[in-house]
Amino acid sequence: MTTRDVLTDWSALRDGVPPVWARYTDLIVERASGSWIETVDGTRYLDYTSGIGVVNTGHAHPRVVAAISEQAARGIHLQQNIVYHQPGLELHRRLPERFPNPQADTDYGLFLSNSGAEAVEAAVKLAKVATGRPLVIAFRGGFHGRTHGAMALTSSTVKYRAHFEPLMGGVQHVPYPYPLKMGGPDAALATTLAAIDEVFATTAAPDDVAAFVVEPVLGEGGYVIPPDAFLPALREVADRHGILLAVDEVQSGYARTGRFFATEWTDATPDIVIMAKGIASGLPLSGILAARSLLDRLEPGTHGGTYGGNAVACAAALATLDVIDDEGLAERAHRLGARLVDGLRDRVGAHESVREVRGRGLMVAVELDSGARAKRVLAEALARNLLLLTCGTSGQVVRIIPPLVTTEEEVDLAIGVIGDALAASTA
């Protein structure tokens, strides 16, 4: 008899989990499939968190599960420094083909690691060694991870940085163009570009800056869609000063916004693409894409990791690419995202607490008047069996991240629940 057979009070074990894991719920899950999770007591919840934007192909997609099972039977850990494995070699071939807005006659390459923060660290190290420059410019509201280097770039909320100073030096922050707070798209873009000029004039010489690190859609900072001209304008500034442009697609990539990478909503070509979350449908994997001429500037042994490019994770990543393509998940995200945004605008857009409903693909936000209000909405939604998240500097944004395999019926259900939850939050 196993522990699982005799232990029925799973809640008794929850105190063993350290409180550093800030919690949205106390649910104990038995199984998950598609857009739904089921708890040990048999209750089903519509999961519009996707594990924080990870299970883009849905929970336990059969093709991903099959790929994981097959590779696990062949070999689980085949370390990259020691041997090559077939899923890894195939992923190194296929992923560079997805480079957003590629330049003609450029050979792109891939470096694999475990987490989004690790990929950010790799991007910063690559930018510094390739340019010979010491500084990085990031954007206020950005989230790039919680390792000590990545944390220096992160400014979505002070809790990620508080009490850990001093952090890695050489990072400057400028405002992210936030149209709702900055008087519209044109004013927001002008504010950001002026702030970059101010940094160049006061605290960081342009020829000391190795890279801009930027989210094409702001994630933890509020699911903010920048003006369309933002990335092209940043590309122009970068080119003018010999600065690399690194786009953090950890949350916005893998068809989430209706394009494989959110950068593809513009014509800007980045130098480095940072990936994680949806890359392997739930298995730990991340990476960066860059031109081989750039990527090869990292000499052997200067970067790496024991688990990076794990064989089972690579097999899951290959299956994820197949599912995204074969099931048209980018187009599906675009279509259902429009349905979700339009439905929410109709249902809650006129509510006195709603500042804005916005989204790109299935990366959708309802910005409210306070973090306290957003927290109440999440609690009311949970009581109605819908899982949501918050984001924004004060937690004032209800963040909606459905699996890309969600259905029209599930979208409509979520719209209704969110409307009821918002009404209940003011009762």
Q: pLDDT per residue over 364-388, tens digit each?
A: 999 999 999 999 999 999 999 999 9
- Amino acid 8: pLDDT: 61
Label the pairing between strands 363-368 and 171-175.
unpaired
Note the pTM of the prediction, 2 decimals: 0.96
* CB contact set of 412 (below 8 Å; sequence gap of 6+): 339, 343
* CB contact set of 375 (below 8 Å; sequence gap of 6+): 390, 395
CA 244 – CA 252 distance, rounded (Å): 20
CA 59 – CA 118 distance, rounded (Å): 24
CA 316 – CA 283 distance, rounded (Å): 7
CA nearest neighbour of 271 among 210, 185, 356 = 210
- Amino acid 427: pLDDT: 72
CA 251 – CA 60 distance, rounded (Å): 19
- Give residue for tokens 């009821």: 420
CA 40 – CA 29 distance, rounded (Å): 6
* 339, 357 Cβ separation under 8 angstroms: no
* 383, 35 Cβ separation under 8 angstroms: no
Q: How far is CA 398 from CA 49, 220, 357, in A?
A: 11, 11, 10
- Amino acid 5: pLDDT: 46
- Amino acid 7: pLDDT: 47
CA 162 – CA 144 distance, rounded (Å): 15
- DSSP readout, 317-381? HHHHHHHHHHTTHHHHHHHHHHHHHHHHHHHHTTSTTEEEEEEETTEEEEEES-HHHHHHHHHHH
- Amino acid 1: pLDDT: 35
- Amino acid 426: pLDDT: 86
Task: Give the CA radius of gyration of the chain.
Answer: 21
pLDDT by residue, tens only, the chain of 427 residues:
344 544 467 778 888 888 888 899 999 999 999 999 999 999 999 999 999 999 999 999 999 999 999 999 999 999 999 999 999 999 999 999 999 999 999 999 999 999 999 999 999 999 999 999 999 999 999 999 999 999 999 999 999 999 999 999 999 999 999 999 999 999 999 999 999 999 999 999 999 999 999 999 999 999 999 999 999 999 999 999 999 999 999 999 999 999 999 999 999 999 999 999 999 999 999 999 999 999 999 999 999 999 999 999 999 999 999 999 999 999 999 999 999 999 999 999 999 999 999 999 999 999 999 999 999 999 999 999 999 999 999 999 999 999 999 999 999 999 999 999 999 998 7
Helices (H), 203-275: 230-241
Strands (E), 249-285: 272-275
